Amino acid sequence: MKAALFYRAYEPLKIEDVAIPKIGEKDLLVSVKTCSLCHSDIQFIDHGLAPGKTPPLILGHEIAGDVTKIGSRVKNFKIGDRVIIPASKSCGKCLACKSWNETQCDQFQLLGNDIDGGLAEYIKIDCNSPIFLPYEYSYELGSLISNDFVGAYHVVFDRVNIHEGETVVIFGSGAYGLSILQMAKMKKVKVYMVDIFDWKLEIAKKYGADGVLNSNKVNVCEEALIDEVHGKADVIIDTIGVTRTLTQAMNALRKGGKLVLSGFSENSIPFLVKRLILNEISLIGTIGAPKRKIFNIMQYIQDDRIQWKEMITNRLPLEKVNEGINLLRMQQSIKMMIYPNGMEKTTK
């Protein structure tokens, strides 16, 4: 099968022919229809973040496709089923899993990081991991649900205690930020978005942002933000994870506020511990999502409470994945859909 392999940082992915994975008795082989790119993929390529699995590694964790083969003991799926493969995977047996904290699982794994991901024609996956993709949903929507939507749900409803009437600021108007914006709005709060591109902030306005700020167009982001928000924020969610945004976030947060770190990176925190102490700031990390939350997302989609069409800005076949990565790197794309089995053959 064709796969895009990551060997080492600072090099493009290599498109190679590799063996189709052999499945065990409780595994599925899934033909990947769409696998969208994410800024955390770029962390490995551009910033030297070391993946959990020793390379070569197949990147990609936003996956939807069709079951094409099942192991001898698989009972819950059959060949031809359409599936979403969640971006993270938990064991289901440890104490964390049993107490509904699956993202804190002892054997927590991220696809396209700890195990091979979806930038390939096929992926092997444990049959306990995928979820049915409803027939009325496109594969692209499945890819969005697998990571951005469900991850955003986890941030807003599981990890951060956001109260009605509060002010929430989100750094980054990418797919993840736009997803968090829409979940946060369900909590009846005011949401402000910060980015460096007006076209992305326009989408944020369309998706319900109460205000937006282009931090490249102001002298001091913190001051402009406090102005825009009419005070300091109760909650700031950073989806970028760089020194600049973390510092700006810290400066625009009220005493007793919550700083949420969700931009996957290997940077250090750029402020003194005493600032957290003296201002009683809560620092909250968040990763992945329990897969059962996908059903909550589907309910929101059913009720027409989530928008996404404007987020999908680009589509490319697997052969052009490096072109896609470059567009994302240059911030010219929000969601880049990669079609590992070709774009013509994949109907919707």
Which of 3, 30, 97, 233 lies at the binding interface for Zn ion (CB under 5 A)? 97
Q: How far is residue 72's CA from residue 91's CA, in Å, rounded to a whole number?
A: 20
CB of 113 to Zn ion, least distance (A): 9
Which of 3, 4, 23, 38 lies at the binding interface for Zn ion (CB under 5 A)? 38
Which of 147, 245, 262, 286 lies at the binding interface for Zn ion (CB under 5 A)? 147
Identify residues 225-254 at the interface with Zn ion (CB under 5 A). none
Identify residues 167-206 at the interface with Zn ion (CB under 5 A). none
Name the burial class of residue 119, with classes exposed (0-12), middle (13-18) and buried (19+) by CB atoms within 10 angstroms of its CB: buried
- Segment lying near Zn ion (by CB under 5 A), choices 29-37, 128-136, 144-152, 293-301: 144-152
- Segment lying near Zn ion (by CB under 5 A), choices 10-18, 146-154, 199-207, 225-233: 146-154
CB of 289 to Zn ion, least distance (A): 11
- Segment lying near Zn ion (by CB under 5 A), choices 73-81, 143-151, 247-255, 287-295: 143-151
Closest to Zn ion by CB, 67 vs 111, is 111
Integer angstrom CA distances of residue 307 from 56, 64, 204: 36, 19, 10
Size of the site for Zn ion (CB under 5 A): 8
Identify residues 288-317 at the interface with Zn ion (CB under 5 A). none
Which regions of the chain does DSSP assign to beta strands (E)? 2-6, 14-17, 27-36, 57-58, 63-70, 82-85, 88-89, 109-110, 122-126, 131-132, 167-171, 190-195, 211-214, 233-238, 253-261, 282-285, 312-317, 335-339
Q: How far is residue 278's CA from residue 149's CA, in Å, rounded to a whole number?
A: 34
Q: How far is residue 58's CA from residue 4's CA, in Å, rounded to a whole number?
A: 6
CB 114 within 8 A of CB 53: yes
Which of 9, 91, 196, 218 lies at the binding interface for Zn ion (CB under 5 A)? 91
Tell me: does residue 328 bind Zn ion (CB under 5 A).
no
Q: How far is residue 198's CA from residue 203's CA, in Å, rounded to a whole number?
A: 9
CB 171 within 8 A of CB 221: no
Closest to Zn ion by CB, 42 vs 186, is 42
Which of 90, 167, 248, 314 lies at the binding interface for Zn ion (CB under 5 A)? 90
Identify residues 45-84 at the interface with Zn ion (CB under 5 A). none
Tell me: does residue 105 bind Zn ion (CB under 5 A).
yes
**170 φ/ψ angles, rounded to the nearest 5 degrees:** -120, 125
Tell me: does residue 40 bind Zn ion (CB under 5 A).
yes
Q: How far is residue 2's CA from residue 16's CA, in Å, rounded to a whole number?
A: 6
Which of 15, 20, 49, 94 lies at the binding interface for Zn ion (CB under 5 A)? 94
For the chain, the distance separating the N- and C-terminal CA atoms, rounded to the nearest angstrom, is: 22
Closest to Zn ion by CB, 52 vs 231, is 52
Residue that has been written with the tokens 């990763």 in this structure: 287
What residues line the site for Zn ion (CB under 5 A)? 38, 40, 90-91, 94, 97, 105, 147
